[in-house]
Amino acid sequence: MAAYNFRPLFDNIMAQKRLEHNVFSFYFDDRADSKSSKITFGGVDESLFEPPLMFFPVTQKFYWSLRASAILVDGKKVPGVCDNGCTVVADTGTSLLTGPTDELEILLGIMSVLLCIIV
């Protein structure tokens, strides 16, 4: 939307000062038949995570870019992918996975059930 100069929903909410905290959070339930994934505006649902909650700065607002220190699959660092840190994009509105060809081939070659990005 930013490419077409549209103001995103959350930017409008912040501009209207409707929330106590300008924060939104996601919970993704990984159970096959579950329908309990959710988004929360204005904070976090503390019943859905174990502390501590960590916040990370957005490094490029146009793409919601974050600086990651490693890419993990099933809790293990993937060698050859993001070895010296890398930029990742927090885009919950896409089903695409993209990146440098060599690193993406490594990642796709070993990807299993769970992909966690540690930032």
The boundaries of the domain holding residue 75 are 56-119
Give the distance between the most distant pair of CA atoms in the chain. Answer: 46
Looking at the structure, tell me whether residues 87 and 60 fall in a common domain: yes
Last residue of a domain, one of 34, 51, 68: 51
Instruction: Read off the pLDDT of each residue in 14-27 and give the average, rounded to a whole number.
Output: 89
Looking at the structure, tell me whether residues 117 and 63 fall in a common domain: yes
Looking at the structure, tell me whether residues 33 and 78 fall in a common domain: no
pLDDT over threshold 50, residue 96? yes
Looking at the structure, tell me whether residues 118 and 63 fall in a common domain: yes
pTM of the prediction? 0.58
pLDDT over threshold 70, residue 3? no
**Structure-model confidence comparison of residues 70 and 92, the more confident one:** 70
Looking at the structure, tell me whether residues 88 and 113 fall in a common domain: yes
Looking at the structure, tell me whether residues 19 and 67 fall in a common domain: no
Strands of the sheet containing 115-118, edge to edge, are 76-77, 70-73, 115-118
Confidence of residue 2 (pLDDT cuts 50, 70, 90): low
pLDDT over threshold 70, residue 116? no
**Which residue type is seen at 95?**
S
Looking at the structure, tell me whether residues 67 and 89 fall in a common domain: yes
Could you read off the pLDDT of 26-78 as tens digits, one per residue? Answer: 888 877 888 888 888 898 888 888 888 777 888 887 777 889 898 887 788 88
CA 73 to chain centroid: 15
Number of domains in the chain: 2
pLDDT over threshold 70, residue 119? no
Looking at the structure, tell me whether residues 19 and 61 fall in a common domain: no
The tokens for 116 are 């966690």
DSSP secondary structure of 45-86? -GGGS-SPP-----SBTTTTEEEESEEEETTEE-TTSSTT-E
